[in-house]
Amino acid sequence: MTVDLRPLQQALSALRYTTPLGEGDPGYVLRPDGLGQQILNRIMVPGTHRLLLGGPAGCGKSTELIQIHRLAYSGYTVVFCPCDRELDLYKLELITLIRYLVWRILLVNSMDPSQQFKLTPEIVRDALACVGSPTSLLPNPRMFFAGLAKNAPEVDPARLFDTFSRLVSEIERAFKPVLLLVDGLEKVPPHRREETLGDFVRSPLLDGCQAVIVVPIWTLYGKDSLELSPDVEVLRVGLTEDTRFVRTIVWMRAGFVFDESALNAVAHLSGGLPRDGLQLAWQACRAAMDERTSTKVEIRHVLLALHGIQQGFEAMLSDEPERARTFLRSVRETQRLPGDPEFRDLVLGHGIVLPKPDGTFRVHPAIESFLESGLPAGGSDPGY
């Protein structure tokens, strides 16, 4: 019997999870925590120049920034900066980041009809010189800025910083104040914490504009927390154990191929993270396609997909598994972070430990099998 795999193929196309939804995408689901409105409230009536947005990877921060992009037009010249897609974050330096922001501002001025404003020839000339390009049109920003950081002639930092300040000041006088939506910096690795991320958040350059900066959640804890920086407000994204939000996202995109138990399992095992839910659903669809016996995704397909995510988590913890188990079991029992900064940063950065709205923490459901390793048989009820 030949199985029609087209419904599963259609579902795979709809369950993309590697990029956030575009502005106005019909697949957007309103969040129950009102995160977008919370961000917008702080943008439109700012208390500081810098709003630091921290939450687990895949919790929907980028999607919310994109959706509110147009809502801030009334008060600002809005410049969206997807750093993780256009920069090499592993080697990122402050100078490269400021050059990139200058380029992004020029690009908005040249490409967005709703925000076009006339800049003086002098500031355009100086800004392009700092970027290192004769034009604001770059076909491959990631390659350009990676090559620029390595091979281009040195640019005097004082000149660059002065040009950035003059650029945002001229835009404010001629049009509206600049609002930078700096996305993707939550993927900055720990070794760039101070030299790049800390220096950027604390830079006086940002005093001349408003900025929403997505930062790694682990940078908001410990004695070196970025929350202790001057002139910042912090908005943490906490996740409840209510899985209906993720369930709705998956159902809207591909509910037609999931049976009820499979859909519930995806929502539960996601830990409340939209990206994890979409990834689980996508991989479950792939497992069903490979099986070629059904047009429906069933719970056995979800469990096959879960195995891949578990392997990824366990690989991150494989160097010191017992130390990891001790840490995670403590989180599970106390809902607090133990005093182990190295593991704290690791598990928060990779979504193995998830923050809750009340300031406590829980362990991602997909890591439960790792925690039960070495314990008497029995385990816990998976809950779906």
**Angstrom distance (rounded) from CA 208 to CA 178:** 8
Domain 35-236 falls under CATH 3.40.50: yes
Give residue-wise pLDDT tens across range 324-337: 999 999 999 999 99
- pLDDT band with cut points at 50, 70 and 90 for residue 384: low
- pLDDT band with cut points at 50, 70 and 90 for residue 152: low
Whole-number pLDDT of residue 65 = 93
Length of the chain as a residue count: 384
- pLDDT band with cut points at 50, 70 and 90 for residue 153: low
> Which has the minimum average pLDDT: 32-46, 100-114, 322-336?
100-114
Cα–Cα distances (Å) from 317 to 308, 326, 384, in that order, read 15, 12, 26
E strand map for the chain: 50-54, 77-82, 178-183, 210-215, 232-236, 353-355, 361-363
Give residue-wise pLDDT tens across range 262-315: 999 999 999 999 999 999 999 999 999 999 888 899 999 999 999 988 998 999
Rounded to the nearest 10°, the torsion over CA 245, 344, 376, 368 is 20
The DSSP string of 4-42 is --HHHHHHHHHT--SSPPPTT-TT----TT-HHHHHHHH
**Under 8 Å CB-to-CB from 93, ≥6 apart: which residues?**
149, 195, 196
What tokens were used for 318?
């494989």
DSSP-derived letter for residue 75 is T
CA-wise closest residue to 51 among 192, 220, 190? 220
Facing residues of 258 across strands?
A: 297
- For the chain, give every domain's residue range: 6-15+241-372, 35-236
Whole-number pLDDT of residue 301 = 96
Whole-number pLDDT of residue 150 = 59
Does the CA dihedral 312-82-234-59 come out positive or negative?
A: negative
The DSSP string of 248-263 is HHHHHHHGGGB-HHHH
Res. 236: pLDDT tops 60: yes
Give residue-wise pLDDT tens across range 182-216: 999 999 988 888 889 999 999 999 999 999 999 99
Half-sphere exposure of 67 (CA within 13 A, CB side): 22
What tokens were used for 325?
């188990």
Give residue-wise pLDDT tens across range 10-23: 999 999 888 888 88
CA-wise closest residue to 352 among 58, 74, 46, 132? 58
- pLDDT band with cut points at 50, 70 and 90 for residue 73: confident
Give residue-wise pLDDT tens across range 252-268: 999 999 999 999 999 99
Whole-number pLDDT of residue 380 = 45
Enter the pTM of the model. 0.92
Whole-number pLDDT of residue 377 = 39
